[in-house]
């Protein structure tokens, strides 16, 4: 039985390394897709376009072409003035007796009672509405946390599977590439037995 030569061992090693890199790249692509991260080429172009513009601008300066100069001026003024008066009609004479004052205050309190009930009702309505919104928001947050937790678990398990396979291929390829002559010689000695 003929055993592979060093060239064959190195070729298989390179193939294993490429398979490992492919598995890791696929895992990265799946994680990026799961988290709705744009493709790598979009991120690179977003990062490199400003750099390219800066490089082009500096290239012009190095060649001696002056950049256009823009001059802007602005002026403005602001003036504020005003006056006001506030008057309050109490509806009670200055020389009113104590009984008249008490009667007037009692009437004013009676006028305020419906307004107070209205405000209390409004506050109770707002309190109930705020409690319902808080309950709804808490439920939504818990659902979101569960969904994120499930997604993280799914990614961790799926990503680990691909990363493990990629690691095995890379390890096998690295071992074969590093010790190709020794492995080829060892395989040849197995044939002589």
Q: What are the sequence ranges of the domains in the chain?
A: 6-39+97-192
The pLDDT value recorded for residue 89 is 53
Q: Which two tokens stand for residue 71?
A: 């001059």
The pLDDT of residue 86 = 44
pLDDT along the chain (193 residues), means of 10: 73 82 79 73 73 75 61 62 52 81 89 90 93 94 89 66 74 82 80 69
The confidence score (pLDDT) of residue 140 equals: 94
pLDDT of residue 31: 73
The string of pLDDT tens digits covering residues 2-38 is: 667 777 888 888 888 888 888 877 877 777 777 777 7
Enter the pTM of the model.
0.38
Query: Among all chains, which residue has been given the structure tokens 């808490």?
Result: 138
């Amino acid at each position: 039985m003929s055993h592979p030569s060093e060239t064959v061992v190195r070729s298989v090693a390179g193939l294993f390394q490429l398979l490992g890199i492919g598995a890791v790249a696929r895992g990265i692509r799946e994680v990026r897709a799961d988290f709705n991260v744009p493709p790598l080429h979009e991120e690179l172009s977003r990062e490199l376009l400003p750099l390219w513009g800066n490089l082009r601008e500096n290239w012009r300066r190095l060649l001696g072409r002056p950049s256009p100069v823009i001059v802007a001026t602005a002026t403005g003024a602001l003036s504020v003035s005003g006056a006001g008066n506030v008057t309050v009609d109490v509806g009670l004479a200055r020389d009113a007796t104590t009984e008249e004052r008490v009667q007037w205050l009692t009437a004013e309190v009676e006028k305020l009672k419906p307004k107070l009930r209205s405000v209390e009702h409004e506050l109770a309505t707002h309190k109930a509405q705020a409690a319902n919104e808080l309950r709804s928001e808490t439920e939504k947050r818990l659902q979101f946390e569960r969904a994120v937790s499930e997604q993280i678990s799914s990614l961790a398990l799926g990503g680990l599977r691909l990363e493990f396979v990629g690691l095995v291929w890379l390890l096998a390829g690295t071992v074969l590439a590093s010790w190709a002559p020794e492995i080829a010689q060892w395989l040849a000695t197995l044939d002589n037995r």
